[in-house]
Amino acid sequence: MVSETVGKIEGLLSEAVDLQKDYVKRICVQCESPCCSRVHYLFNDKDILFLKLSGRKRRWKREVVTKKGCWFLGEQGCTLDPKSRPFICHTYICDDLKIEMKRCDSGLIALLEGKLKVIGEMRSQLWAEYLDEKLQTEIGSKRSRSSLTQTGLAQSRKDAKGKNVSF
């Protein structure tokens, strides 16, 4: 279940990125004060879980903050692969970007927001599925240990003559 949900999220993220990438290239790169220059660490637990489960390279943890703003903001914009970015980076659309997107395609914002809403719901679903699978694994592991322990105890419950003792 988890891997299916990861795949669905990746597909929807690709669609969302494709919808906004031309606008982001035009607007964000020219912006004198990009949003990314005013923020720091944006990865949350769901971002990190998605990145780990999707096998993405571990770049969300930095030991030392060496610059102002997002660590991944480069000269030409974000240096992270779009699917490796914090979800907030996909969902936050500044006014300038919204205006340009509406000017070029009046239905684009609604379409994009719809996809992002579904992705957000699926990220919550992924979190729940992951916890459920983890819990089931732990319960199965405890049952195995418990049955081994009980088997071991049953074998050691013999009286002095070697006969099994019932309790």
Q: Which pTM does this prediction carry?
A: 0.77
Q: How far is CA 106 from the centre of its chain?
A: 30
pLDDT in tens, 68-125: 788 888 888 888 999 999 999 999 999 999 999 999 999 999 999 999 999 999 999 9
> Angle 63-64-69 (CA atoms, 0-180°, nearest 5)?
120
The span from the CA of 45 to the CA of 123, in Å, is 10
